[in-house]
Amino acid sequence: MKYLFIITALIFTYQSNAQLKFSEARQLQSALLESMDSLVTSGKYERITSILIAKNGNVLFEKYYNGKNIESKHNTRSATKTIATLLTGISIDKGLVKSENDKIFNYLQHKIPVNNTDSRKQNITIEDLLTMSSILECNDGNRFSRGNEERMYIVEDWTKFFLDLPIRSYPWEPKPEKQKYGRAFSYCSAGVATMAEILQSAIDAPLDDFAKQHLFEPLEIEDYTLNYTPHNILNTAGGSEYKSRDFLKLIQLLLNKGQWNGEQIISSSWIENATTPKVKVYDDTDYGYLLWLKEFGNDKKYKSYYMSGNGGNKVLATPDLDLTVVITSTNYGNRNAHNYSDEIMNSYIIPAIEKIKN
């Protein structure tokens, strides 16, 4: 497929509720994006499979690499964890879940009793799972962790796996109350997988059907491959596959504060809450509700939030630039993968977009 990128010569009208426009407008040159495209094509960033860039809902650049095309569906691994955040917001809007402060056992009574009994487990909230900061000992980054995702995949009941975990300690970091935002981050796929059963219990219907009716259909997301747990519940920990254009729709929905084609799909207050820092991850990175929060750019840094997955996959919004970006990749397990996508953002995409006059 031929690619297109449109820079500087177009005058864009700001639209707070802009929908995506995939037009075949005349191709204009951008030295930065030409350089980026050349480097990606040459293999400098290895297995990048697509890059899409939109400003104000106008798609300025769309290119596929390494054998992929516009019809390809991409496994962005954990980037689709953010779907759980979107479905939680919709469930709250519809009164099916009271709030993110609800105790998870309000919806998981059928899982009681649990192992490693501790009264503190009864106080775990939905927000604890959305921020990956629950008190359960679950850390995908530690192969010795009892809650490591590789141990979850070999059992049938993923929710029970999570709920049975012991209470964590904090041997190498301050306790939550002594940390910024009052939480301690621990990357935990099992907790996000558990969100699916919480939501399915709340709505009293299959979660995949709920997602199709209230999220995918309004956005005209029609061709995808969903991943499921062994109990045939939508796997909100990752693995579902979507087209790059549909990933762009999802992040544009967030930038639009939940609006799409004049319809409020998710309340703006939920989007605001989800994209607000809730827990510190690194010195330069915070975390919201299954969304990473970080600044991108060279001379000037811009606050951004994004879906992120193994391999350097990023589905990103930079509100101050009215920018949405999709970078898909199969650089799974590559220690340079996220550095690659960060470099593409910092050295090429952000500087190119800065040159556009609003």
Q: Residues 300-315: pLDDT tens digits?
A: 999 999 999 999 999 9
Q: In what order do the strands lie in the sheet with 302-309?
A: 4-5, 58-64, 48-55, 323-329, 313-318, 302-309, 292-296, 285-287, 279-282
Q: Name residue, tokens 């703006």.
A: 268
How many Cβ atoms sit within 10 Å of the Cβ of residue 218? 15
Q: Name residue, tokens 């049975």.
A: 164
Burial grade of 31 (CB within 10 A; 0-12, 13-18, 19 or more): exposed
Q: Can you tell me the distance from the alpha carbon of 18 to that of 252, in angstroms, rounded to the nearest whole number? A: 8
- pLDDT band of 164, cuts 50, 70, 90: very high
Residue-wise pLDDT tens digits, 308-348: 999 999 999 999 999 999 999 999 999 999 999 999 999 99
For residue 119, pLDDT over 70 is answered with yes
For residue 357, pLDDT over 90 is answered with no
> Can you give the pTM of this predicted structure?
0.94
Domain ranges of the chain: 70-240+252-295+324-333
Q: Is 132 left (phi over 0), alpha (psi -120 to 50) or beta?
A: left
Cα-Cα-Cα-Cα dihedral sign, residues 27, 31, 32, 33:
positive
| CB contact set of 222 (below 8 Å; sequence gap of 6+) | 216
Q: Which of 87, 120, 83 minimizes the C-alpha distance to 105? A: 120
Residue-wise pLDDT tens digits, 138-163: 999 999 999 999 999 999 999 999 99
pLDDT confidence of residue 7: 41
pLDDT above 70 covers what percent of the chain? 93
The hierarchical CATH code for the domain 70-240+252-295+324-333 is 3.40.710.10
pLDDT confidence of residue 19: 83
pLDDT above 90 covers what percent of the chain? 91
- pLDDT band of 29, cuts 50, 70, 90: low
186, 171 Cβ separation under 8 angstroms: no
- Residue 4 sits at φ, ψ, to 5 deg, of -135, 140
Q: Can you tell me the distance from the alpha carbon of 173 to that of 94, in angstroms, rounded to the nearest whole number? A: 39
